[in-house]
Structure 1
Amino acid sequence: MSNPLLNIPLLPPFNQLQPQQVEPAIAQLIENCKQQLLRGLETPGWETTLVPLEEAQDQLNRAFSPISHLNSVLSGEWRAPYEAALAQVTAYWTEQGQNRELYQVYQQLAASPAFQNWSQPHKKSVELGLRDFELSGVGLQGEAREQFAANSKRLAELSSRFANNVLDTTNAWSWHTSEESELNGLPQTAVAAARSAAQNKDKEGWLITLDGPSYLSVMTHADNRELRKRVHTAFVSRASEVGPNAGEYDNSEVMEAILALRAEQAQLLGMSNYAELSLASKMAPDTPRVLEFLNDLAQRAKPAAEREMAELRVFAEAEYNLNELQPWDIAWVAEKLKQQRYAISQEELRPYFPYAKVVEGLFTVVEKLFAISVQEDRSVATWHKDVQFFWLYREGERIAGFYLDAFAREKKRGGAWMDTVATRRDSANGLQLPIAYLVCNFSPAAGAMPSLLTHYEVTTLFHEFGHGLHHMLTQMDVAAVSGINGVAWDAVEMPSQFLENWCWQPQAIEMISSHFKTGESLPPQLLNKMLEAKNFQSAMFTVRQLEFALFDFRLHASEETMNAEKIQQLLTEVRSEVAVVPVAEENRFQHGFSHIFAGGYAAGYYSYKWAEVLSADAFSLFEEKGIFDRATGEHFLHSVLEQGGSRDALDLFVEFRGREPDIDALLRHSGIEQLELNISPV
Structure 2
Amino acid sequence: MNPLLQASPLPLFDQIQPEHIEPALDTLLRQAEDALSTVTAAEFPATWQAIAAELDVATEKLGVAWGSVSHLNAVADTPELRAAYNTCLPKVTEFWTRLGADERLYAKYKAIAPESLNTEQRQAHKNALRNFVLGGADLQGAERERFAAIQEQMAALSQLFSEHTLDATDAFSYYATREELTGVPDDVVQGARNAAQAEGKEGYKLTLKMPCYLPVMQFAKSSALRGTLYRAYVTRASDQAEDTAKQFDNTDTMRSILTLRKEEAALLGYPNFGALSVVTKMADSPTAVIRFLRDLAAKARPYGQQDVADMRAFAAEHLGLTDPQAWDWPYIGEKLKEARYSFSEQEVKQYFTLPKVLAGLFKIVETLFDVEITPDTAPVWNPNVSFYRLERVGPQGR
Which position in structure 2 is the counterpart of 1:301?
A: 300
Counterpart residue identity of residue 211, structure 2: P
Distance across 2 between alignment mates of 1:7 and 1:277: 38
Asked if 1:231 is matched to 2:229, the reply is: yes
Q: Aligned pairs, how many?
A: 392
Query: Does the 8 Å contact 1:30/1:92 carry over to 2?
Result: yes
Counterpart residue identity of residue 190, structure 1: V
Q: Deviations over 1:146-172 (max 9, x none)?
A: 000000000000001001101000000
Report the Cα offset of residue 204 of structure 1.
Answer: 4.5
Which position in structure 2 is the counterpart of 1:621?
A: none
Q: Deviations over 1:619-653 (max 9, x none)?
A: xxxxxxxxxxxxxxxxxxxxxxxxxxxxxxxxxxx
Which position in structure 1 is the counterpart of 2:217?
A: 219
Counterpart residue identity of residue 63, structure 1: A
Structure 1 SS opposite 2:350:
helix
Identity of aligned residues (%): 38
Match runs of 1:12-411 below 5 Å:
12-42=11-41, 43-45=44-46, 46-76=48-78, 77-109=80-112, 112=113, 115-116=114-115, 118-177=117-176, 179-244=177-242, 245-378=244-377, 380-395=378-393
Counterpart residue identity of residue 86, structure 2: E
Distance across 1 between alignment mates of 2:31 and 2:200: 48
Report the Cα offset of residue 330 of structure 1.
Answer: 1.1
Counterpart residue identity of residue 160, structure 1: Q
Report the Cα offset of residue 398 of structure 1.
Answer: 9.5
Q: Deviations over 1:268-290 (max 9, x none)?
A: 00110000000111000112111
Match runs of 1:460-479 below 5 Å:
none
Report the TM-score when normalising by structure 2. Answer: 0.94
Query: Does the 8 Å contact 2:14/2:379 carry over to 1?
Result: yes
Structure 1 SS opposite 2:388:
strand
Query: Does the 8 Å contact 1:185/1:223 carry over to 2?
Result: yes
Counterpart residue identity of residue 222, structure 2: N
Distance across 2 between alignment mates of 1:166 and 1:314: 36
Structure 2 SS opposite 1:248:
helix
Residues 301/393 of structure 1: CA separation in 2 closer, same or farther (3 Å cut): closer
Structure 2 SS opposite 1:305:
helix
Q: Deviations over 1:640-669 (max 9, x none)?
A: xxxxxxxxxxxxxxxxxxxxxxxxxxxxxx
Query: Does the 8 Å contact 1:175/1:208 carry over to 2?
Result: yes
Distance across 2 between alignment mates of 1:271 and 1:300: 32
Structure 1 segments (4+ residues) deviating >6 Å: 396-399
Distance across 1 between alignment mates of 2:7 and 2:357: 32
- Provide structure 2 residue ranges, at least 5 long, that are not aligned to the other structure: none
Distance across 2 between alignment mates of 1:246 and 1:12: 36
Distance across 2 between alignment mates of 1:193 and 1:120: 55
Distance across 2 between alignment mates of 1:4 and 1:322: 58
Q: Which moved more, 1:337-346 or 1:254-263?
A: 337-346
Query: Does the 8 Å contact 2:374/2:389 carry over to 1?
Result: yes
Distance across 2 between alignment mates of 1:277 and 1:162: 22
Report the TM-score when normalising by structure 1. Answer: 0.56
Q: Deviations over 1:357-380 (max 9, x none)?
A: 2112222333333332222224x2
Query: Does the 8 Å contact 1:15/1:381 carry over to 2?
Result: yes
Match runs of 1:609-624 below 5 Å:
none
Which position in structure 2 is the counterpart of 1:542?
A: none
Query: Does the 8 Å contact 1:71/1:79 carry over to 2?
Result: yes
Report the Cα offset of residue 30 of structure 1.
Answer: 1.0
Query: Which of 1 and 2 has higher RCO (CA within 8 Å, sep 6+)?
Result: 1
Report the Cα offset of residue 189 of structure 1.
Answer: 2.5
- Provide structure 1 residue ranges, at least 5 long, that are not aligned to the other structure: 400-682
Bigger Rg, structure 1 or 2? 2
Query: Does the 8 Å contact 1:90/1:152 carry over to 2?
Result: yes
Distance across 2 between alignment mates of 1:19 and 1:133: 33
Report the Cα offset of residue 89 of structure 1.
Answer: 1.2
Q: Deviations over 1:463-509 (max 9, x none)?
A: xxxxxxxxxxxxxxxxxxxxxxxxxxxxxxxxxxxxxxxxxxxxxxx
Residues 52/199 of structure 1: CA separation in 2 closer, same or farther (3 Å cut): farther
Cα RMSD of the aligned pairs, angstroms, is 1.8
Q: Deviations over 1:284-312 (max 9, x none)?
A: 01121111111111122222212211221
Higher helix share: 2
Structure 1 SS opposite 2:248:
coil
